[in-house]
Amino acid sequence: MQNNLPRPLGGIIVPLITPLVAQEMLDSEGLKKIVEYVLAGGVNGIFILGTTGEAPSLSGKVKRELIDQTCRVTNGRVPVIVGIMDTSITESVHLASYASEKGATAVVAVPPYYLPLSQSELVNYIRRLTDELPLPLFLYNQPEYTNVPINPDTLAQVADIPGLAGLKDTSRNMINFQQMCQLMKDREDFSLFVGPDGLMAEAVLMGGSGGVNAGANLAPKLYVELYHAARTGDMPTVRQLQSKVLQLITTVYHPSAGRLKTLKGLKCALATLGICKDIVADPLIGMDPDVRSHMPQFLSDLNLIE
């Protein structure tokens, strides 16, 4: 197994948006801009083909182009982590092999969806998948979309599998996350990240490794500074920066955008900054025009645009 992953991996890993110029057409120039933008903000890694990256809506062709170009633009400056979130182990392994060839550092998998697994079946799936992968694996606990949670007891059963590097938790169940932190407190080689933007500081204060936070696409420096404040226990700074994150969540992630408001809001905001277009992959529809018209003011209030 190829393993160039910093252990443990911590800090802010940005779940990168996938910039498009049209359906089935990757925006290569926009990708370069967003990669350089988040790296300048100090992020510790880039995660592509996740929820914010619209992975389920992209063709195999676009996925491979995104892997190739992201690895090339990043050029080893930070780890590139690739989502291989398929219901088929064979297809997940094929994409992982391609990512490995192109220079990716690790991969991410969710529990197979559509046909729900029991926790014992999930343990078996993780063992089988990890055994076939050419890169270290991060698990992704996203029960809202998969309907299969990764419980703390399940993590305890699989944590010693060679090649398993960590877990991203987007369940918003902070009791379970705290239990996971306790389970893994002596494992310096295992990373525990939280997904929801507003919970990153709390997770780090609990002993978590950092955040895989969508807002780092737009305000990477804000999330990096909040992470460091939480890591050092600087509570006045945590409170100050947390209020900015909450402001971003309540404006840029506008409720009118529906269930995938984070993704739509981010693409709209990044288009307003001139980084990429706000095209979302079919069958999604972009941000409501009324909200789009207010985006410059939202970004001005966040000191992201003059």
Site of tokens 């799936």: 125
Q: Cα–Cα distance between 134 and 226 in angstroms, integer?
A: 34
Which candidate, 87, 5, 17, places its Cα nearest to that of 49?
Answer: 17
CB 169 within 8 A of CB 176: yes
Chain center to CA of 122: 21
3-state secondary structure of 140: strand
Active-site option among 33, 37, 63, 140: 140
And the tokens for 83? 């989502």
CB 30 within 8 A of CB 21: yes
Active-site option among 37, 63, 98, 168: 168
Beta bridge partners of 139: 109, 167
And the tokens for 270? 């990044």
CB 226 within 8 A of CB 12: no
Which candidate, 204, 202, 252, places its Cα nearest to that of 228?
Answer: 204
Report H helices in 194-234. 200-206, 220-231
125 is catalytic: no
Which candidate, 148, 140, 146, places its Cα nearest to that of 191?
Answer: 140
168 is catalytic: yes
Give the Cα-Cα-Cα angle 217, 51, 70 (nearest 5 degrees). 55
**Active-site amino acid positions:** 140, 168
